[in-house]
Amino acid sequence: MNVDTDTKHTTEAPAAPAAPVAEAVRRPRRVPAWVAPAVVAVVLLSLPFSTLRIPGLFEGTLNSPSTLHVLATCLVLGGLATSYDLLYGRVGLLSFGHALYFAAGAYLAVLLMGILELPLLWSALIAVASGTLLALVLGAISLRVSGIALAMVTLAFAQAGSILVVRDPGRMTGGEEGLSLNPDLVPDAFIGVVNTVNLYWLAVGYVVVALGVVWWLSATPVGRVWQGIRANEQRVSVLGVNPYPYKLAAFTVAGALASLGGVVYLVVSGGVTPAITTAEFTLTLLVMVSLGGAGTRWGPLVGAVVYTYVDHRLLQLAASDVFDGLPAVVRAPLSQPLFILGTLFVLLVFFFPGGLAALPSRIHAALRRRAAAA
Amino acid sequence: MSTVVLLVVTGLGLGALYFLIASGLSLIFGLMDVLNFAHGAFLTIGAYATWWASVYLPGAGGDGVGFLVAVAFGVAAGTLAATLVELGVIRPLYGRHREQILVTVGLSLAVPALVQAIWGADPLPFPRPELVSGTVTLLGAAIPTDRFLLIAVAALVLAGLLLFGTRTRYGLIVRAGVEDRAMVTALGIDVRKSFTLVFAIGGAAAALAGALGGLYFGVITPFQGTSLLVFAFIVVVIGGTTSTVGCAVASVAVGMVQQFANYYTVAGLGDIAVVIVLAAVLLTRQGGLAKATAGRVA
């Protein structure tokens, strides 16, 4: 990758790092397949070294701790959305309980560190292993039903977890307050404002793992059975393949990736709150995936990054005096990011099916139509 | 003994609340295959409209006839909201179940957020009419009076739905549509007309649940509907979507399990016990709901 492309993409990166990339994926004959991941990797790797200022998008320079922290959060949710898309986009399973495995990773890790005073690495390993096991067991039960019933059942399990956390049994989970990370047990490299860049690297690492696992599995024979299940489950079983173990495999892998994401999220944000256990959180994951484009290579990541960034930005704007001049009727709804994002999502479903990942091909089609007309 | 009586009546009251939400949900799902996440939003609208009317609407109030007017206003608002959602948002997406779910998900996030933007996130105290405040002593147990109101209203709604289903032409079409939609369409009946009707009924019942939930909990919050909706989903899964009576039985069962487990074990375990019951039902019955839906919903 030469310096030219590098700087060019750095300037565009925060808004939509993969917009030019998705275009590249659409035209495999002209651009080799490795170019897209390479460009994204270079952009992500060069961000912490860039002192560029993007007024309007970020407050400080790109490598300032506050910007890096926002980006790290965006990336963690990007990885999580990618793991959710493994279920929703790749296998066609509508799960409304993905927050449970994310929260399981985060809460188990923080509890292991708080109660048993295990170091971060061991807590993380045990938390991810337990989260994976949880996904395996609950998946085995919930996948006995399919379609909408599956959605309801996974939602119910996740709700049970959410209630458990909020009710605070034995004063362990901190209830509504959540828990914060004990800094003594976390490696020094992740502590302090100066080391925000390391949190960013951690988030980048998680995204690479999540994307890598999902892409790799989708390319294996298992991935092809998933594709078949997504298209027509009945036909898959008629062909003599029992879909159940394949669905359970997808559920478990997605759960494992989600609990890993939970641990990373815990370290990046320095604590957990019950907000990540709720059904609303899973619903926002669904919004992220549909926003980016379900079942596409980059869609979930892009959707999650855009959603998380916009959410963060709207909260900032609501807290600032930007809206003060507006009448109360307009100001009140604008101060609720969830209202804006929910409404945008409804409009998106209507006028923009396929999400952001479908954008390049739509533009192409429009240009071609115009060219044909002219 | 008195504790058991108290728990039974409270469990029935909670079950009544679940039934009001789940009956509409299961009708909508049974007829249209739409998993309506916006149902919690209708509940929120009903609760806040009732509260608003009791405070600001002339003629309505927090007591006596005024309260009835306020509840009627809340139910009307919920019905209107449900009708508008069906006509404006669900109807253009007929036959595309995924998109319909996504749209209702968007609404379920946006509507409570809007309510929160207008009236704040803090719980609002809900008016309590004289008639249903205080307690009644039954078999030695002091039972809050509003529980009886909840049970009575739910019984009325159940009777109304059963009469509607068996005695009216539209009820017949709805029941037949739940059974086999394709066949009803093949007989030359436009099933889609009844979709709006079912949505309106569901919205009205949910709004009523919102107003009664305000009585039950004493306060209303913007996201109350969403948490009640989860239990309504569980009721629908356990009770199936084909019969209103099944839905009522499942509602009562879920309410009872929750109350008894909450009292005799640690508080909060009741909610989890409900989920365990759900898992047991799924494992033993091979998914009552799944049979009806596996082939219909992708």
Beta-ladder partners of A133: none
Per-residue pLDDT band for B62 (boundaries 50, 70, 90) equals low
**Which among A145, A160, A337 has the least Cβ separation from residue B290?**
A145
Chain B residue with minimal CA distance to A340?
B110
Neighboring chain B residues of A170 at a CB cutoff of 8 Å: none
Q: How many Cβ pairs closer than 8 A exist between chain A and B?
A: 145
Asked if residue B298 is part of any domain, the answer here is no
Q: Which residue of A has its CA nearest to B223?
A: A280
Reading phi first (left if > 0) and then psi (alpha if -120 to 50, else beta), residue A117 is in left
pLDDT of amino acid A324: 67
Residue B221, domain extent: 2-293
Q: Regarding predicted confidence, which is higher, A334 or A250?
A: A250
> In the prediction, which pLDDT does A261 show?
94
Query: Across chain A, what does the average pLDDT equal?
Result: 82
Residue B92, chain A, CB below 8 Å: the answer is yes
Closest CA in chain A for residue B262 = A167
Name the region of A296 (left: φ>0; alpha: ψ -120 to 50; beta: rest): beta
How far apart CA B58 and CA B295 sit, in angstroms, is 51
Lookup: tokens for A203: 């988030």
pLDDT on residue A135: 94
Q: Does A332 touch chain B (CB under 8 A)?
A: yes
Specify the pLDDT at position A323: 66
CB-based burial of residue B86 (10 Å sphere; 0-12 exposed, 13-18 middle, 19+ buried)? buried
Residue range A215-237: mean pLDDT, rounded: 90
The reported pLDDT for the residue numbered A6 is 40
Is pLDDT of B66 > 60?
yes
Q: Is B273 on the interface with A (CB under 8 A)?
A: no
Q: What pLDDT does residue A206 have?
A: 93
What does each C-alpha distance from A366 to A352, A372, B153 come to in angstroms?
Answer: 14, 10, 56
Neighboring chain A residues of B293 at a CB cutoff of 8 Å: 146-149
**Dist CA A106 CA A261 (whole Å):** 8
Separation between Cα atoms, residue B202 and residue A67, nearest integer Å:
46
Residue A125 pLDDT > 80 = yes
Confidence at A2, pLDDT banded by 50, 70, 90:
very low
Contact B102 A286 (CB under 8 A): yes
In a domain, B11, yes or no: yes
What residues contact A217, with CB distance under 8 A and at least 6 apart?
A: A86, A223, A226, A253
Q: Which residue of A has its CA nearest to B240?
A: A149
A207 min Cα distance to partner chain B (Å): 25
| B175-B177-B183 Cα angle (round to 5) | 130
The answer to whether A328 faces chain B, any CB pair under 8 Å, is no
* C-beta atoms of B289 and A341 within 8 A: no
| pLDDT value at B287 more than 70 | no
Tens digits of per-residue pLDDT, A190-205? 777 777 888 888 999 9
pLDDT at residue B296, rounded to an integer: 37
Other C-beta atoms within 10 Å of A138: how many? 24
Q: Read off φ and ψ for residue A31, nearest 5 degrees.
A: -120, 130
Q: What is the pLDDT of residues B197-207, one digit of tens each?
A: 888 998 999 99
Token pair of B106, please?
């968007």
| Contact B296/A at CB under 8 A | yes
Q: Is residue B141 part of a domain?
A: yes
Is residue B271 less than 8 Å (CB to CB) from chain A? yes
- pLDDT of residue A158 exceeding 80: yes
Q: What's the mean pLDDT in A323-330? A: 68
In the predicted structure, residue B292 carries a pLDDT above the cut 50: no
Residues B25, B12: Cα–Cα separation, whole Å: 19
Chain B's closest residue to A335, CA to CA, is B117
**Helix, strand, coil content of chain B in percent (nearest 5):** 80, 5, 20
Chain segment A29-86, per-residue pLDDT in tens: 566 778 888 888 888 887 777 777 777 677 777 777 888 888 899 999 999 999 999 9
Residue range A84-104: mean pLDDT, rounded: 91
Q: Nearest residue on chain A to B91, judged by CA atoms?
A: A350
Alpha carbon distance A96, A81 (integer Å): 13
The whole-angstrom separation of Cα B83 and Cα B198 is: 9
Chain B residues with CB inside 8 Å of A290's CB?
A: 102
pLDDT of residue A247: 93
Closest residue to B102, CB basis, from A146, A164, A349:
A349
The proportion of chain A whose per-residue pLDDT surpasses 90, expressed as a percent, equals: 25
- Smallest CA–CA distance, residue B121 to chain A, in Å, is 11
Tokens of A284: 């926002």
Q: Which residue has the higher pLDDT, A358 or A258?
A: A258
CATH code for position B120: 1.10.3470
Closest residue on chain B to A278 (Cα): B227
Answer whether B99 sits within 8 Å of A349, measured CB to CB.
Answer: yes
SS3 A30: coil
Per-residue model confidence (pLDDT) at position B221: 86
Mutate which of A141, A152, A164, A329 to disrupt the B interface (most B C-beta within 10 Å)?
A152
CA distance B25 to B28: 5
Answer yes or no: do B116 and A336 touch at CB < 8 A. Answer: yes
Q: Are B189 and B5 in contact (CB under 8 A)?
A: no
Most confident of A217-221, A350-354, B177-181: A217-221
B151-198, pLDDT tens digit by residue? 888 999 998 888 888 888 888 888 888 778 788 888 888 887 788 888
Name the least confident of A313-322, A361-370, B152-161, B231-240: A313-322
When the candidates are 1.10.3470, 3.30.230, 2.120.10, 1.20.120, the CATH number that belongs to A66-373 is 1.10.3470
Q: Cβ of B268 and A164 within 8 Å?
A: yes
pLDDT at B81: 92
The minimum CA-CA distance between B291 and chain A, rounded to whole Å, is 8
The mean pLDDT value for B126-132 works out to 76
Residues of B in contact with A164 (CB under 8 A): 268, 272
Q: Which of A228, A242, A205 is nearest to A90 (CA)?
A: A228
Per DSSP, chain B holds a count of helices (H) and strands (E) of: 12, 4
Residues in chain A: 374
- Interface mutation target, options B18, B85, B109, chain A, most CBs of A under 10 Å: B109
Measured on CA atoms in the order B49, B50, B55, B60, is the torsion positive or negative? positive
Nearest to A148 among B35, B267, B272 (CB): B35
Beta bridge partners of A287: none
- CA quadruple A147, A300, B37, B95: dihedral sign: negative
Look at chain B and report how many structural domains it folds into. 1
**B237 contacts A333? CB cut-off 8 A:** no
> Are residues B107 and A342, on separate chains, in Cβ contact within 8 Å?
yes
| pLDDT in the model for residue A26 | 53
Secondary structure class of B125 (helix, strand, coil): strand
Residue of A289, A341, A349 to mutate, testing the B interface (most B Cβ within 10 Å of its Cβ): A349
Report pLDDT digits (tens) over B212-231.
888 888 888 888 888 788 88
List the single residue in A144, A279, A341 with the smallest CB-CB distance to B226.
A279
Residue extent(s) of CATH 1.10.3470 domains in chain A: 66-373
- Cα separation values, A314 from A275, A286, A318, Å: 18, 20, 6
Token reading at B125: 């105290």
Q: Are A80 and A308 in contact (CB under 8 A)?
A: no
What distance in Å separates the CA atoms of residue A197 and residue B166, rounded to the nearest whole number? 67
- Answer yes or no: do A290 and B233 touch at CB < 8 A: no
Banded model confidence at residue A325, pLDDT cuts 50, 70, 90: low
What pLDDT was estimated at residue A264? 93
**CA–CA dist B166, A310 (Å, integer):** 51
Residue A291 confidence (pLDDT) above 70: yes
pLDDT exceeds cutoff 50 at A163: yes
